[in-house]
Amino acid sequence: MNNVLLISENTVKSTTNLSDNMSGDFILPAIKLAQDIELEETIGTQLLDKLKSLIYNNTINQEQNIKYKKLIDKYIQPFLCYATIAHITVPIAFKLANAGVLRTEDEKMYNVSADEVDKVKWHYQHIADTYKYRLQRYLIANYSNYPELMEYKSIADLRVNLYSAAKTNLWLGGARGKQTF
């Protein structure tokens, strides 16, 4: 179940302005990163595992799972689409090779500078953070519908983070006095 993705390559392309010619060799690893790092940090290990199992077992569309389907369709997928683009920006601009870090070149296209790549990445990360904030607000308002938010099976499980949406290198600890589920 580790390879279950909550969005597809086509979903990313149809939701964002990512080129239809973009190779899945770039998109799929970026989806996995966005899901395994950013989404799991937000919704926790247990809820992510629940969603992945519903998709893996093809039971997401059953009546008793409609709340999980809504969560994925309305809140998780938009977040993951833009988090994926933020994760894909640097790998498509630069390559790691035996000769070091190389800029990709195409005879008919012009590359942007590293600063411009960072600006593009920041742009998409800002959109992802906005969708992440909406996801968090929805889960706070509806936490009783998702018992997995409060479950932990092992110490390795990531706990839910519903109070810090912005991506930054500084952890601000969430809202003062708020319970972090």
Residue 173 pLDDT:
62
Question: Per-residue pLDDT averaged across 29-53, rounded?
Answer: 94
Residue at token pair 């790998």: 91
pTM: 0.82
Give residue-wise pLDDT tens across range 61-97. 999 999 999 999 999 999 999 999 999 988 888 777 7
List, as own/partner pairs, every contact residues 50-59 make where C-beta atoms lie below 8 angstroms and the sequence separation is at least 24, other chains included: 50/148, 51/6, 51/76, 52/1, 52/4, 52/6, 53/1, 53/4, 55/4, 55/6, 56/1, 56/4
Residue 43 structure tokens: 């919704």
Distance CA 181, CA 174 (A): 11
Distance CA 64, CA 16 (A): 31
Lowest mean pLDDT among 16-30, 73-87, 162-176: 162-176
Whether residue 143 is predicted with pLDDT greater than 80 in this model: the reply is yes
Question: Per-residue pLDDT averaged across 17-37, rounded?
Answer: 92
Distance CA 173, CA 157 (A): 18
Residue 117 pLDDT:
82
